[in-house]
Amino acid sequence: MWYFCSPRVVFGEGALDALDELQGRRALVVTDVTLVELGLVERVQAHLHAAGIEVRVYAGVEPDPSVRTVRQGTQVAQEVQPDWIVGLGGGSPMDAAKAIWVLYERPDLEPAAINPFIDLGLRQKARLITIPTTSGTGAEVTWAIVLTDTKEGRKMGLGNRENVADMAIVDPVMAAGMPPRLTADTGLDALTHAIEAYTCTWHTDLTDGLCIHAIRLILQHLPRAVADGSDMQAREKMHNAATCAGLGFGNAMASLAHAMGHVLGAVFHVPHGRAVALFMPYTVEFAARQAPRRFAELAALFGCSAAEEEQAARSLAGGIRELCRKVGNPTCAAQAGIERVAYEGQLERMVDDAFNDTQIVTAARVPSYDELHQLFLYAYEGRPVDF
Ligand SMILES: NC(=O)c1ccc[n+]([C@@H]2O[C@H](COP(=O)([O-])OP(=O)(O)OC[C@H]3O[C@@H](n4cnc5c(N)ncnc54)[C@H](O)[C@@H]3O)[C@@H](O)[C@H]2O)c1
Ligand SMILES: [Zn+2]
């Protein structure tokens, strides 16, 4: 038995107008300072005011939000007593908003206790709206919450089906001002979601189509959106692709590249999308020897298929690397600017944490501890994986 969860999704240019129809008294907008400075928060505020809703803004969310930030935001929510919580931003503010909402409704819980196996009983006090301003994480439609334990330097994968948003507003205008680097990093995150969800062991008939279409859209439109941020067609297609990929992996799973990327992000502060995309080709090559079939299917979308499945899967890895290069992204950890001594110094810990990451269990080929160690080493130097 499988579930498919999704908020009501309002998308396309002008989607923000959906806020004008909202019923309620008070909203808490959870966001970050950059988005205040860019005037995106003001736009959302104006729509909420048009609906007669009082607005309070909590702009304290940092990239890769910490448990501390979530606690602070929850305190603000307890003061304001909103009936709507609005997560506005990239994955970081949207994840923080989900956690703040859960703790506002359930002050008895610790953030680390938000897991899929408990009844949360949400929606007694408020409901959640998500508005993405990056085209990448899909957090607007997933129930996953990624928080960072800053003491341990570890990312925690939390969340419960109940904390999926009530409404996601996917308006490309909100992402139109992203600089090229952010466009590339977040777009590659969406690509990694789609490829990993399509090839993981939890893929389903309902998620496959979303993933394949997301890949098609990204291949066509990511280089355009990076090269020319004012190309609104490319922006809109990328915004939709990220949401499709989010629905795909949110209802299946991500996989090994996310397990590895999470630790690189937590230890070396490499942005999430850059980190996961960097590892993806190595994980594809690793799977190619034992479980190539679904990777081989995707190779055709990249225009690099081969008669034999293992070869086709390997050519997919090549296609991913080529796209990364085209949009100016690193294809190995050395290129991401990490010193060899620093990387090797953290290697055991990274292998440990990745080995314990929830995303690893659904990999097409699950590595042993030693194999994972090797994968991290190969991905430092950019050596193709052949074991
Ligand atoms: N919950 C999920 O399903 C899920 C999935 C993938 C990633 N994540 C998490 O999401 C986080 C990463 O999110 P992200 O990649 O969207 O980045 P982010 O939210 O961390 O934002 C990165 C930076 O981009 C800026 N920014 C955002 N929108 C902008 C815009 N339109 N114009 C200019 N600058 C803008 C932000 O202010 C911030 O400084 C990580 O913590 C990751 O673990 C969650
Ligand atoms: Zn991701």
Q: What is the pLDDT of residue 58?
A: 98
Q: What is the pLDDT of residue 305?
A: 76
Q: What is the pLDDT of residue 155?
A: 85
Taking the CA of residue 250 as reference, the ligand 1 atom at the shortest distance is 3
Q: What is the pLDDT of residue 248?
A: 98
Ligand 2 centroid – CA 254 distance (Å): 8
CB-ligand 1 contact for 251 (6 Å cutoff): no
Q: What is the pLDDT of residue 307?
A: 87
Ligand 2 centroid – CA 23 distance (Å): 33
CB-ligand 1 contact for 238 (6 Å cutoff): no
Q: What is the pLDDT of residue 154?
A: 85
Q: What is the pLDDT of residue 16?
A: 98
Q: What is the pLDDT of residue 108?
A: 97
Q: What is the pLDDT of residue 243?
A: 99
- Nearest residue (CA) to ligand 1, atom 32: 178
Q: Where are the beta strands (DSSP E) in 42-191?
A: 54-58, 84-89, 127-132, 144-149, 154-159, 167-170
Phi-psi region of 192 (alpha: psi -120 to 50; beta: other; left: phi over 0): alpha
- Nearest residue (CA) to ligand 1, atom 22: 63
- Using DSSP bridges, classify how beta strands 54-58 and 154-159 pair: parallel, antiparallel or unpaired: unpaired
In this structure, is the dihedral angle defined by the CA atoms of residues 282, 329, 33 and 170, taken in order, positive or negative?
A: negative
Ligand 2 centroid – CA 251 distance (Å): 14
Per-residue confidence in pLDDT tens, the chain, 387 aa: 999 999 999 999 999 999 999 999 999 999 999 999 999 999 999 999 999 999 999 999 999 999 999 999 999 999 999 999 999 999 999 999 999 999 999 999 999 999 999 999 999 999 999 999 999 999 999 999 999 988 888 889 999 999 999 999 999 999 999 999 999 999 999 999 999 999 999 999 999 999 999 999 999 999 999 999 999 999 999 999 999 999 999 999 999 999 999 999 999 999 999 999 999 999 999 999 999 999 999 999 999 878 899 999 999 999 999 999 999 999 999 999 999 999 999 999 999 999 999 899 999 999 999 999 999 999 999 999 999
Q: What is the pLDDT of residue 292?
A: 96
Q: What is the DSSP string of 294-334?
A: HHHHHHHHTT---SSHHHHHHHHHHHHHHHHHHTT--SSTT
